[in-house]
Chain A
């Protein structure tokens, strides 16, 4: 085994261990955080195609380094994203966040190179557990609760993966992480598990719930890995599964509307992220070489421009303390460079020609067209207009322009600016020289994005959408930015189920009067209900006199005797 072929995740884990044990100095830690992704990037770049690192575990053979062109392209962008994210987070002193970032990125990269489901599961849970610290690192009670919800959902994804893997192992004896048909129980479970992480419709809400709750830098890191890992996993196992086309189409659609009326800009971006994932999922569903190339390249470009957008909004949040559209506006006066970067990100995500989104999204669009999915194609075009509406216009316009909020924050710190510049540069570079990206894609690319008809049609679509925006703004029909939240599917478990629970508990009458009146005040708090059943003063945990204990034994013994004798 060549030294260069050790699992890339080890590099990150080692760095995390070093940080944890040795590095007390802040600067050293920041330097390490930047260096590690670069080392990993060089390593991944030089990886040879093939399976490199086998480990025996429980009579199972784990493939820790399955390198092929698909895993390599995801490995590269993950390293790149880690580098940019860490550069952006240079100023962060919090060691918890730094370690979490290292473990998180390491796990994500490890998962990409995992050649079997067991090691995938390890890394899968690794990303879940490490990433939640980026949310908790905000250290408010709200972020704690959000983190809990996030963790629960992420862990359940891993658990379902584990269940699927167990069933598969039981039925076929194989733990291979390969292409599978969506026909057996095991593949269905695995599909759901990937789907949760990929934020499929109705399973999506952890995304919008948690990303706005993380720290400024944490969100940038978070936005790059978890969902794209799921995209990778889907592309690896379920390419060509037709249902994905429809799931993806719905994914591109519904977040548009939510994003349009959402006030918190980071949540707008989370919705937009969801919508972009839809494009990739459609690409996976189509499953042709062109479509998979489209998915891989779109994921690549997407990580960059989405980070860029999160970075610029993050910089605003960092300087002003809020990321709510209703509180912002007119910041271009004092944060012009951030505004410029934000505009570049917006142009990239809206797929303006010469920006990265243009050269990658069109691969997917073209694939749906060549495979004759006219409705899906129309939906994707529609969704492209939608992307423009919330990420292309809303984000930069309401943050940096629009009415003057009177805020005059300083320009973003220098490290943030450098990270944003590099990312902006990459967005433009990929848009201008798409072949650099096309060369590292899984399959041969015979696609020219810059044809006259393609450029013209895209420009027409975007310019007329912009025109529609101006007209609507002038007419005053645009939904105003107001301080409010919007219900989404998380309402079910944040509001509905707790109230049902409460009703049941009340019906059972197991709660005594005094606590019940207290309970009514906290109608939303499921915790209170649990407290009444399991809390220190509840029956389950009370300290009994030993007479009662003996009585219990008598009851159980009678039960046992009855079972045994009859």
Chain B
């Protein structure tokens, strides 16, 4: 049984949800850096270029780290 467990663990492929979060955090880091460098917010294409992925994929990734959508927050935060 231990062996089967290990097999399952070692062959547990990475979930998309996990990899999307990684992309999203990278995108946010790049945004910070570019904002500092250029004193203005980068566009989604600027970030996409640095990560070498489609703009659309960054949008999808960013949604994966969105707080559970709150219908109250946006106005009061």
Partners in one complex: no
A interface with B by C-beta (< 8 Å): none
B interface with A by C-beta (< 8 Å): none
